[in-house]
Structure 1
Amino acid sequence: MTAVPGTEVELSLPEARDLAIAASLPADGFPDVTAALAHLHIVQLDSISTLARAHQLTLTTRIPDTITTSIDQALYNGTESIAFDYPAHALALVPLADWPLWAFRRRASRRRPQYPDQKARSSLLDRITAEGPLPLRHLRENTAAGAGWDWGPVKTAIEFLVWSGDLASSRRTGGQRLFDLADRCIPAEHLNDDLTDDECLTRLLTHAATALGVATADDLADYIRIPTPIAARLLPATGLTPLRVQGWGPAWASHEALTSPPRRSRDPMFLGPFDNLIWYRPRVQRLFDFTQVFEAYKPAARRIHGYYVCPLLAEGRLIGRADLARNNETLTILKAGFEPGAGLDAPTHFADACRSLAAATTQTRIELADSAAEPAITRRLRATLALKGAKRQGNR
């Protein structure tokens, strides 16, 4: 790192990449879900479960020796909740202690035309007050807001009551969110809207920088989904360090990132497509020269890489990707590919990441589809997977 006029440091691209990985995926991981959430502050949710739920994949990569099913046990089966669902990035898990920081979005939601009128609010809130936490399917029944499906009248009303803070969701049943009065979900010490909008955003930008390590104003704005000009205006008040990154221009880094030397001790791993490290495609392109795409919602004929594609992180680079699914205790590799310059060890890294993922998702077998890649690559991967398996078995 070298000093440049007007900034404290200048980072090379490899240095920035190491800092970003170390911030998002600390070498030693976290002891539990609560600690991982407290560091990331936002963990995206998604309904697709082809491999595992998005939040399960994100959190298991950061908590050593854990499995995806234990994530939901920690989130929803304890005596006390540890997070609430909120449209922070997209719909995401947010630590309970961060409730005050989203007051700016709650206030904005109450000003939007979709915010339910008094009659609709009273109908839904009175029912929940009387009956306790309810899933959406029950709230669609016999409400003044009417019936609907997907983003129909009831769902729209419920979501805006969540966004505005009238309701909150910190529990699930059968995979469905339970909606309850906010004061029955959020501890009293956190249940307030006392901070100004600028105070909220300044603290949230600081949290985003801690989770990202080094980032541009645009990257930090994307983390909490606010306009970049607002982030740029507030960043000087955050206490973050201004710097430059080779090929980027102005950027910002957390104190922790610059004072804690990054360590590359993480084993190869597949990142879920909603992982915090790869949320923002322009940043992924800048950091890794890797084009991140998510094609699950495209027609099959238009997909290039597959349905549920996970990038492969190894030795500080994104070196490949795989379309993955689980079925009957089998992790299936439907499609696989490596980036140019992935290196001779790429198949070994791929096999190691497959075995780690299979263990995390409690799959006992790994299968590679015949059409997963070009014949030569498929043969190499199959041989490497078999070789790794033979070694593991022989060492028992």
Structure 2
Amino acid sequence: MLTTLFFLWGFVHNLDPILIPHLRRSFSLTVLQAALVDSAVYIAYFVMALPAGLLIRRAGYRCTIIAGLLLFGIGSLLFLPAADTHRYAVFLAALFIIACGLTLLETAANPYASLLGRPERATQRLNLAQSFNGLAAAVAPIVGARLILVEGASDQQLQAMTATAQQAALAAEAASVKGPYLVLGLVIFAIAVVFYFIRLPEPERKAADPDERVAGAIGRAWRHGPIRRAVIAQFFYVGAQVCVFSFFILFAASAAGLSQVAAADYLGWGCGVAFVVGRFAGTCAMKYVAPARLLLVYALLCALLSVVTMFASGMACVAAVIGMVFFMSIMFPTIFALGIADAGASTEMGSSLIIMAIVGGALLPLAFGFVSDATHSLQLAYGVPLACFLVVAWFARTVLAADRLAPIPPLTNGALKRV
């Protein structure tokens, strides 16, 4: 059931790259204005992450998951009045409410997956659960493109229409989101009912002081070096991921001349499959390579592919982005698990702080859109992900340095016998 949640939030997040070109056409938006879709989603993580951590401390993981599912379902159903009124602001509000629910789910499910098992396997276990998030990244664009990116009037036909007829035609195109999000909302409510009736084990963990003030708990978590550095790294990683996925359809259409549906297929079969294969492959590789070392190598390879994307042409750019997605695949869960490792009573608030860092997905796509509009080039805007991957490489390097400086524990009699 926990893995189901990873799939669900991956599915709805990967509908956003479909919504961006769809709403951009329906409301005649610039790239920067279309990036507000990401801002509406990822600003919710900044707003709701700390309340989510407090809810986990007071009510437990199960109640937090149910509350998240209810918000998720309500936001999905709000797409119906958003389409009926044909107002961009209502769409953004619906996305914000969905993201508030996702914040509760991610704040609970990520540390819960880490805690359910042996500590030394936490990173590998979380990567395995997140692999189903990657599976959703492959499925959502393919399904969403065929349900949402409907064939409407051409640009020439729209220009020939009166203002009233043009508005009616665009409103009819915008209404294509109603069916998919209605079904999604009903499915989410059904899963919330299942979570209400099942029993989830509470993992054994060091209990936080119930009398400790919230500010004190936040400050203690922030003073934990790995958490603080993970917050910074996650901010830039999520910003890079959102830039790469959300603008892929616009990028592929511009750089390689693909249609929107064809670009969506490349997003699903190319980026989505690369993402899920990368997650499973990375999980297996962590049996033999330290997670921080693998993260460092992957971040540097992503930076190199960002440079290729900026200056190559045609399908070579698309191939570089797909390769970038493969190496991005392990970054979120690995940063998360390395950040809260050995955090003790700071685990819940540390998890909240790392989830708050997802606000990078609200801010950095705006920088991407600004660079794109200013240079009239989506390719040059990949300088924004390039800088982000260098920050992730810095984080991995600090973890490796800390591991080398960690004191070697004394050998006990039991350890001597095993040697």
TM-score when normalising by structure 1: 0.27
Higher relative contact order (CA 8 A, sep 6+): 2
Q: Which of the pair is proportionally richer in helix?
A: 2
**Greater share of strand:** 1
